[in-house]
Amino acid sequence: MTMARSTRWLLIAPAIIYLAALTQAPFVLTLFYSFQKWILTSPELGVTFVGFENFGYTLFQDSTFRAAVLNLVLITAGIVLLSLLFGMIFALLLHRKFPGQGIARSLAIAPFFVMPTVNAVVWKNLLLNPVFGFVNYFTTRIGLPRVDILAAFPKLGIITMAVWQWTPFMMLILLAGLQSVPDEIREAAEVDGANPWEEFRYITLPLLGPFVELSVLLATIYVLQLFGEIFVATQGGPGSATTTLPYYVYETISQANDVGTSSAQGVCAVIIASVIATFLLRLLSRTFKVAKA
Amino acid sequence: MTGRVRDTLLTLLTYLAVLAIFFPIFWTVLAGFKTEGTAVAQPPVLFFGPTFENFREALTNANYTSFFFHSVTISVVSTFFAFLLGIPAAFALGLFPTEKSAGTLSWVLSTKMMPAVGVIIPLIIIFKALHLFDSLAGMIILYTAINLPLVIWMMRSFFAEIPKDLIEAARIDGADTLHVLVGIAVPFVTPGLAATALLCLIFSWNEFFLVVNLAGPNASTLPVYIAGFMTSEGLFWAKMSAASTLAVIPVFIAGWAAQRSLVRGLTMGAVK
């Protein structure tokens, strides 16, 4: 079907212009600010063009920045891979027909709806608190030492909270994938004498390929922006153990009021996110093609 | 091991796994009904005389109710505007695709992929200059932009499913574009519309990064209120749990109602 060009434009343009104004335009400004020296709380210093000074400082002098990038990569990778693993287990379990399947699925996706700050207050206090938390009650009962996970293993603590939240996300996409695998194929494999592991490894998993790919890609893009959990549970600490790039940008603008440096960090964050997304897209589609062949 | 036994064991394992993943929510809701003393009791208390005091207190706390009101206003109004802007675009892209449509859609998606830290600094400065900082209007403007890519992608996938004959017939009968859109296309995709709206509401309701950077007491939403518990009342677990429970209930209702279209929304319409 066709549509007059002018009608088309009238229908599409408002949305495009709105999006451009609120996402592209601010990013261009971020780029612009990243070449300026501008401290919000010191207006007497004015705003001056400093070339690549902010980038030079960020990339070569600021060790916290490097730590923040490394933390971001480690925490994101941990969250995505563990969520994928648990999501796959839940998807396989919930794909089977059993009494109460509907309710079980509804309960299993619930963590995904919980807002990040509630997730963090609940885990930090009710579950992981070293004295009154449920997890420590449980672990000390079976003879393990009492640990303050968020103090002793802060990255693990953050990863745990986020994995709890993102497992249902992975599960949902993989469940949709499992539903698209025709039962006949798997039944045929069973008839041919494949054990459940072989059936999963050689039949289900390759057919799930595109869904695994999609879930990893989307989760990575979202998890790279993880912020609320860190803001509430650790404030980037102890030290800078859980300071990821988004949290560091937040600190630079809200505490140091440094527009230039925080903009340079923001530009780096966008570049890193695009590089990771592009790399992941290539890698995943290649592995999947190999698996298919 | 016979098939029946294996099946039963797998079902039991499934129940256990589901209980485990749901446990933190169950435990929080339960803690909301406890007194502060029972909430921190060791060993943890499972059975107790419930109190509604924490919920009553949250709902009568002027701070809490005003944050709740901000959440409702911002998420409902921004969803409305995202629909107003997004539906016409999705209609054109879904039912009348041209060779340029794929490019337009990719571009729309790329705006969604932009990390918020890449735009937050100018937003803070512009919002302060335009007096949008800490205002409901400012947050509505931003959340509309957050939800717009979702509305365009998801509704496009629903519009694309409308039989072309239906549209052609109406056009032959002389219906103009507006009538086709409002009279035929939109009624046809009502379930999709509802699911998309619920997802927009959920994402706006839970958003934290932008609101914590761009709003103060006049426009902050529930996620900010809950975050505030850590600094001001971190030790009041029962109160905190009741407030948390009330904050997530609307999302659970919306999420479970939209469950069937959830995957479609989360994958921007890629998986149906």
Cβ–Cβ below 8 Å for A172 and B213: no
Q: How far apart are CA A142 and CA B215, in angstroms?
A: 46
> What percent of chain A lies above the pLDDT cut of 90?
51
Q: B15 to chain A: which residues are within 8 Å by CB?
A: 100, 104
Helix (H, G, I), strand (E, B) or coil at B53: helix
Cβ–Cβ below 8 Å for B121 and A22: no
Residue B70 belongs to some domain of the structure: yes
Cβ–Cβ below 8 Å for B263 and A176: yes
Q: How far apart are CA B124 and CA A228, in angstroms?
A: 18
Q: How far apart are CA A292 and CA A203, in angstroms?
A: 10
Q: What is the mean pLDDT of chain A?
A: 89
The interaxial angle of helices B62-95 and B237-257, nearest 10 deg, is 20
Q: Tell me if A126 sits within 8 A of B28, measured CB to CB.
A: yes
Say which DSSP state B45 is in. P
CA dist list (Å): B151 to B5, B89, B91, B136: 47, 9, 11, 21
Homologous superfamily (CATH) of A63-116+154-292 is MetI-like (1.10.3720.10)
Per-domain boundaries in chain A: 63-116+154-292
Say which DSSP state A146 is in. P
- How sure is the predictor about B47, in pLDDT bands with cuts at 50, 70 and 90? confident
- How sure is the predictor about A292, in pLDDT bands with cuts at 50, 70 and 90? very low
Torsion sign (Cα): A238, A241, A242, A245: positive
Task: Tell me whether residue A106 is exposed, middle or buried, using C-beta atoms within 10 angstroms of its C-beta: 0 to 12, 13 to 18, 19 or more.
Answer: middle
**Token pair listed for B13:** 């394992």
Cβ–Cβ below 8 Å for B120 and A253: yes
Note down the domain range covering B196: 54-266
Min Cα distance A205 → chain B (Å) is: 17
Residue of A30, A111, A231 lying closest to B227 (CB–CB): A231
Residue B146 belongs to some domain of the structure: yes
**Number of domains composing chain B:** 1
What is the ipTM, given to two decimal places? 0.89
pLDDT value at position B232?
54
Q: B119 to chain A: which residues are within 8 Å by CB?
A: 22-23, 26-27, 30, 266
Cβ–Cβ below 8 Å for A23 and B93: no
pLDDT value at position B119?
93
pLDDT value at position B1?
56
Min Cα distance B20 → chain A (Å) is: 9
**Token pair listed for A124:** 């930090």
pLDDT value at position A164?
97
pLDDT value at position B72?
96
Cβ–Cβ below 8 Å for B177 and A11: yes
Torsion sign (Cα): B197, B198, B200, B204: positive
Q: A155-183: buried (b, 16+ CB within 10 Å) or exposed (e) per residue?
A: bebbbbbbbbbbbbbbbbbbbbbbeebee
Cβ–Cβ below 8 Å for A259 and B121: yes
pLDDT value at position A287?
62
- How sure is the predictor about A17, in pLDDT bands with cuts at 50, 70 and 90? very high
Tens digits of residue pLDDT in B212-252? 999 999 999 999 999 987 765 557 888 999 999 999 999 99
Search chain A and give the residue with CA nearest B207. Answer: A115
pLDDT value at position B145?
95
Q: Which residues contact A138 (CB under 8 A, 6 or more apart)?
A: none
- CATH code assigned at B118: 1.10.3720.10
Cβ–Cβ below 8 Å for A113 and B255: yes
Q: Is the pTM of this model over 0.80?
A: yes
When mean pLDDT is compared across A174-188, A255-269, B25-39, B134-148, the lowest value belongs to A174-188
Residue of A8, A90, A100 lying closest to B96 (CB–CB): A8
Cβ–Cβ below 8 Å for B247 and A224: no
Residue of B122, B223, B247 lying closest to A26 (CB–CB): B122
Q: How many CB atoms lie within 10 A of CB A27?
A: 18
Q: Tell me if A215 sits within 8 A of A43, measured CB to CB.
A: no
Residues in chain A: 293
Question: Cis (ω within 30 of 0) for the bond into B88?
Answer: no
- How sure is the predictor about A288, in pLDDT bands with cuts at 50, 70 and 90? low
Residue B68 belongs to some domain of the structure: yes
- How sure is the predictor about A293, in pLDDT bands with cuts at 50, 70 and 90? very low
Q: A122 to chain B: which residues are within 8 Å by CB?
A: 24, 27-28, 241, 244
Q: What angle do CA A179, A184, A185 make, to 5 degrees?
A: 85
Task: Tell me whether residue A279 is exposed, middle or buried, using C-beta atoms within 10 angstroms of its C-beta: 0 to 12, 13 to 18, 19 or more.
Answer: exposed
Question: Which residue is listed with tokens 């009041």?
Answer: B236
pLDDT at A290 over 80: no
Give mean pLDDT, residues A3-21. 91
> What percent of chain A lies above the pLDDT cut of 70?
96
Q: A1 to chain B: which residues are within 8 Å by CB?
A: 95-96, 164, 167-168
Residue B21 belongs to some domain of the structure: no
Q: How many CB atoms lie within 10 A of CB B43?
A: 9
